[in-house]
Amino acid sequence: MTATDSPIVEPKAMQIERTLDEHGVTRQDPWFWLNQRDDPNVVSYIEEENAWAKKVMKPTKALRKELFKEMKARVKEDEQSTPILKHGYYYYSRYEKGNEYPLYCRRQGSMKGKEEILLDINEIAADKTYFDVGTMSVSDSSKIMAWSEDTVGRRRYTIKFKNLETGQILEEEIANTTGNIIWAADNATVFYTTKDEQTLRADKVVRRALGDPTDHLVFEEKDETFSVGVSRSRSGQFIEISSDSTLSNETRLLEAASPHEEPRVFLPRRKDHLYSVEDHPNGFYVLSNHKSPNFKLMFTESLEKKESDWSEVIPHRPDVFLSDLDIFVDYIVVQERQAGFINLKVIPLDTSIAPYFLEFNESVFDISTWVNREQDTSMIRIQYESMTTPHTIYDFDLKTKKKKLVKREFAGKDYDSDNYQSKRLYARASDGTAIPITIVYAKNKVTSSAPLPTLLYGYGSYGYTIDPSFSSRRLSLLNRGVIFAFAHIRGSQILGRQWYEDGKLLKKRNTFTDFIAAGEFLVNAGYSTKDMLFAEGGSAGGLLMGAVLNMAPQLFRGVLAHVPFVDVVTTMLDDTIPLTTFEYDEWGNPNEKNYFDYMLSYSPYDNVEEQDYPALLVTTGYHDSQVQYWEPTKWVAKLREKRTNSNPLIFKTDMEAGHSGTTGRYKDLKDTAYNYAFVLGILYGDIS
């Protein structure tokens, strides 16, 4: 029997002694060697894990095909996006039947004009295993287009250019960028951000004139806890340079018509101060959390005015979180969160007209303004969805309060929202705090007494809030009698800024215990049972999964952890690993003993112990720049060594992808089918 004919057995990674000492604490890490990306032994081990995953998942092959077929039927194969008007052209993307990638197009004057194909991604990506478009940006003259592309998955983009008059792709390219491209008003100058070669932190804003390979440094952020970005203001008058950390930021402005001028600091950075700037014909509106945790809205007529002389437009309110806004010439549209629910509020600048909220029939939904390029308008676009209403775009008249349906996402020929139910529930955390949960299920699968399989999803970091969104893919679970739930745990901002503050740094464990409380509630309230409850999370949500696995493994039948950030202490101690220093405000700096001790108390990798673990599916991308592949690889190796039962442990590495997984709409559907087949395969007994 040859080596290639050898039976596939559960992998076991070799152990090489490695001792780590920090703050007087000694840790043994015999799988530390797995962080050598190009070591043949590392690649061989990952290939063994992939082979094992293939073997364990083989009984679900027919189910995966069935799921993929269902989900594909809910995709409009000739889908076209809602057009966006800019400088007389309507820009949109569209798919052709059978194609993985979109075509980016435009029409002049109206959508009845002749179509001009700007880029056919299917042609560009034909010979590539991975392809992602970062940004597309057309000059004000509408004659030159810049776009950025990543062909590896490390989120390091190369900028390219196309002459839209001749159709010629220019030879000029700019490598190692974040992918963001901004045109100045002269139609010849672009601004972009570069990445540090080692840490991948966005560290510089650079200016270049098209046709001249000379780069001019506009701004360099030397504080390693900050990263930079560049954008164009809504009016188009300004180039905005942002320097951001988790808890504070700084904005610089320069006239888009004078790209060679030095940018001017709008408001100097200070500790724990976050603000954003929106320009207006009469001045600047500033969303600020200065002495206002839930943010307030201020106004200043000019850059010359001192902050103390700014006027207050919307005061701080302890029970309302001001999360976003759009500024128009005659209106302000703000996104507010109150009691865990989101709304859009319209504030006319004519004070004789009363402010009002946009109204919808559902109680639990997600709403925001959409792409609105024009500032001097009363007709805006908004987007709306819920867990039963597909993503919908409306034209909304700010004067008449009337809305017109522009587009609703296709969810299948037979989709009827009346067949599904969504509701908000509340669990009680160990400290008595009420934790919101949003669930959705198929009405015909629910009875008053029978619990159902349930998939509970969570994140809870960086203030990122998971709102009740729609997924046509999710219907394949709901139609099989599975409840889907979002746990709105601390670490998000669903209940305001304090909700975030209570789920980070030395309060991070609240995130994990909140999720456990949500799972226990669903079981105790009769929605599910421990034998039918599954958990899912990715990235920082993968850390959540790892921590919960160690703390309450008996609560779940199975867990899905995608690109999980699980080796917290070792990663955060290594400032050469991409993005580490940018994370200190979220997790703490483990070079300080109090943070080291606290991280060590919950770090999933460090707290794996000899106990029974539920079935586990772990996925990662070999080229991941956010969470390096070796974190889940080491974690799985340790779990295989320590666990005391034989529940399925599946580890799947995409050797051609990064943090966001594969590219291509059908490839992505297959990944979702794989994840769902894991859940259903456990329930059906196909995976054991």
pLDDT per position as a tens digit, 61-94: 999 999 999 999 999 999 999 999 999 999 999 9
Pairing of strands 533-538, 558-562: parallel
The residue with tokens 């969810």 is 411
Where does residue 122 rank: exposed (0-12), middle (13-18), buried (19+ CB within 10 A)? middle
**What is the arithmetic mean of pLDDT over 524-542?**
97
Distance CA 518, CA 621 (A): 29
Instruction: Report helix, strand or coil for 321.
Output: strand
Residue 1 confidence (pLDDT):
30
**pLDDT tens per residue, range 270-291:** 999 999 999 999 999 999 999 9
Residue 4 predicted with pLDDT over 60: no
Sign of the alpha-carbon torsion through 279, 283, 285, 290: positive
Burial 577-614 (b: 16+ CB within 10 A, else e): bbbbbbbbbbbbbbeeeebbebbbebbbbbbbeeeebb
* DSSP track, 620-682: EETT-SSS-THHHHHHHHHHHHH-SS---EEEEEETT-BTTB--SHHHHHHHHHHHHHHHHHH
Q: Which two tokens stand for residue 59?
A: 């009984």
**What is the arithmetic mean of pLDDT over 224-231?**
94
What is the band of 3 on the pLDDT scale with cuts at 50, 70, 90? very low
- Dihedral Cα 592, 597, 598, 604, nearest 10 deg: 120
**pLDDT tens per residue, range 553-562:** 999 999 999 9
**pLDDT tens per residue, range 300-309:** 999 888 899 9
Residue 449 predicted with pLDDT over 90: no
* Bigger pLDDT: 583 vs 366: 366
Catalytic residue among 280, 391, 562, 659, which? 659
**pLDDT tens per residue, range 313-322:** 999 999 999 9
Residue 374 confidence (pLDDT):
86
Instruction: Give the CA count within 13 Å in the CB-facing half-sphere of 8.
Output: 13
What type of residue is 362? E
**What is the arithmetic mean of pLDDT over 573-594?**
90
How many angstroms separate the Cα of 103 from the Cα of each of 53, 109, 520, 665?
Answer: 35, 20, 46, 13
Distance CA 405, CA 392 (A): 8
Examine the residue annotation and report whether 280 is marked as an active-site residue of this protein.
Answer: no
How many angstroms separate the Cα of 205 from the Cα of each of 73, 275, 533?
Answer: 44, 20, 47
**Least confident segment among 81-90, 534-543, 553-562, 651-660:** 651-660
Residue 660 predicted with pLDDT over 70: yes
Q: Which two tokens stand for residue 551?
A: 């703390």
Burial 238-259 (b: 16+ CB within 10 A, else e): bbbbbbbbbbbbbbbbbebeeb
Termini Cα distance of the chain? 27
What is the band of 2 on the pLDDT scale with cuts at 50, 70, 90? very low
Residue 575 confidence (pLDDT):
87
**pLDDT tens per residue, range 136-150:** 999 999 999 999 999
> Mean pLDDT for the chain?
94
Catalytic residue among 624, 625, 654, 686, which? 624
Q: Is the pTM of this model over 0.75?
A: yes
Examine the residue annotation and report whether 539 is marked as an active-site residue of this protein.
Answer: yes
Distance CA 35, CA 626 (A): 14
Instruction: Give the CA count within 13 Å in the CB-facing half-sphere of 177.
Output: 29
**Residue 631 dihedral angles phi and psi, to the nearest 5°:** -65, -60
Residue 6 confidence (pLDDT):
67
Catalytic residue among 288, 386, 471, 539, which? 539
Distance CA 275, CA 250 (A): 8
Residue 33 predicted with pLDDT over 50: yes
**What is the arithmetic mean of pLDDT over 199-223?**
94
Beta-bridge partners for 432: none
Residue 5 confidence (pLDDT):
54
For the chain, which residues make up each domain, given as ranges? 49-72+428-684
Q: List, in sequence order, every beta strand (DSSP E) within 539-624.
A: 558-562, 615-621
User: Where is mean pLDDT largest: 45-59, 152-166, 577-591?
Assistant: 45-59
- Tell me the percentage of the chain whose pLDDT exceeds 90: 89
Farthest-apart Cα atoms in the chain, separation: 87
Beta-bridge partners for 403: 396
**Least confident segment among 150-164, 310-324, 480-494:** 150-164
Q: What is the CATH number of domain 49-72+428-684?
A: 3.40.50.1820
Pairing of strands 132-138, 144-150: antiparallel
Instruction: Report helix, strand or coil for 249.
Output: strand
- Tell me the percentage of the chain whose pLDDT exceeds 70: 99
Report whether 200 contacts 156 (CB < 8 A). Answer: yes
